[in-house]
């Protein structure tokens, strides 16, 4: 039989590899580089991650931190109002825009929040307070007036969101306004689930869609709807059923 050919000589294991020429090194380095498509896709991915982190921080700020800050500010304003009453500070002829002058209680919703003059976002609403429509042409009555509609605005979401759950109120539920002189108790009577922000008739002396047919002593709560939007307004109406001097103590609905 014919002899088998001898095996080709190979470098022993561990023997140093033959060094590459300069041209071979350039080709190897070029092949190792990422293609433009890979570089672009990596950059886009990093951009989306950055945007995602920024969006998460923004949502956290809006939904959590604005509430924390607003609750702190509103709490301080409530104590300031109460301290002023305790010191016997006289009632001014008119309240300054942004000045707290009363406290709103909605027992069913565990809401206790200061009421300030005006509906400025910066000075009132974004500080966790509810605002009294007090400027022309939207000026409304005060609780002490013998006739009229005491209209309030408040955030439904973020910045303390005092009116978040006003849609849960039902006819007969109490709403109490505490002032330096008295407690004014209203009973919720009706709701308008959605209306245009331009429908200012809802805070009129006798709102057409409220069910009220003649002048009286009413309260109106206004807020945005649907939640997390400002497209429409949600309206809640009530009528006064009791006026109690502070000297007689809290009304029964506020007594634990």
Gap between the Cα atoms of 119 and 42, Å rounded? 48
Strands 232-245 and 217-225: antiparallel
Do you find a cis peptide bond into 81, omega within 30 degrees of 0? no
Gap between the Cα atoms of 20 and 72, Å rounded? 71
The answer to whether 233 is a known catalytic residue is yes
Q: Which of 132, 155, 156, 217 is catalytic?
A: 155
Strands 148-153 and 217-225: parallel
DSSP H/E element including 224? strand 217-225
What six digits make up the tokens of 109? 């919703």
**Angle, CA 34 vertex, CA 30 and CA 40 arms, to 5°:** 140
Category of 250 on φ-ψ map: left (φ > 0), alpha (ψ -120 to 50) or beta: beta
Residues ≥6 apart with Cβ < 8 Å to 196: 232, 233
| Cβ count within 10 A of residue 58 | 10
The answer to whether 132 is a known catalytic residue is no
The answer to whether 224 is a known catalytic residue is yes
Q: Alpha helix locations (H) across the chain?
A: 22-32, 36-60, 66-86
Supply the residues annotated as catalytic: 155, 224, 233
């Amino acid at each position: 039989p014919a002899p088998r050919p001898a095996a080709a000589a190979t470098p022993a294991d561990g023997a140093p590899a033959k060094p590459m020429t300069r041209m071979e090194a350039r080709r190897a380095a070029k092949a190792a580089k990422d293609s433009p498509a890979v570089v672009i896709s990596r950059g886009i991915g990093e951009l989306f991650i950055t945007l995602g982190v920024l969006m998460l921080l923004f949502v956290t700020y809006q939904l959590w931190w604005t509430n924390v800050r607003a609750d702190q500010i509103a709490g301080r304003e409530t104590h300031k109002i109460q301290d002023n009453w305790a010191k016997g500070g006289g009632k001014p002829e008119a309240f300054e825009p942004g000045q707290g002058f009363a406290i709103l209680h909605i027992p069913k919703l565990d809401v206790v929040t200061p009421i300030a003059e005006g509906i400025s976002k910066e000075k009132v609403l974004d500080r966790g307070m509810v605002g009294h429509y007090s400027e022309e042409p939207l000026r409304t009555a005060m609780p002490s007036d013998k006739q009229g509609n005491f209209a309030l605005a408040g955030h439904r979401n973020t910045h303390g969101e005092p009116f978040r759950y006003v849609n849960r109120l039902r006819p007969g539920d109490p709403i109490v306004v505490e002032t330096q002189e008295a407690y004014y108790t209203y009973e919720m009577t009706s709701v308008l689930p959605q209306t245009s922000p331009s429908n200012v008739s809802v805070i009129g002396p006798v709102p057409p869609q409220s069910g009220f047919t003649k002048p009286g002593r009413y309260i109106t709560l206004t807020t945005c709807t649907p939640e997390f939007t400002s497209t429409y307004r949600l309206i809640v109406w009530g009528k006064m059923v009791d006026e109690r001097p502070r000297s007689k103590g809290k009304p029964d609905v506020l007594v634990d």
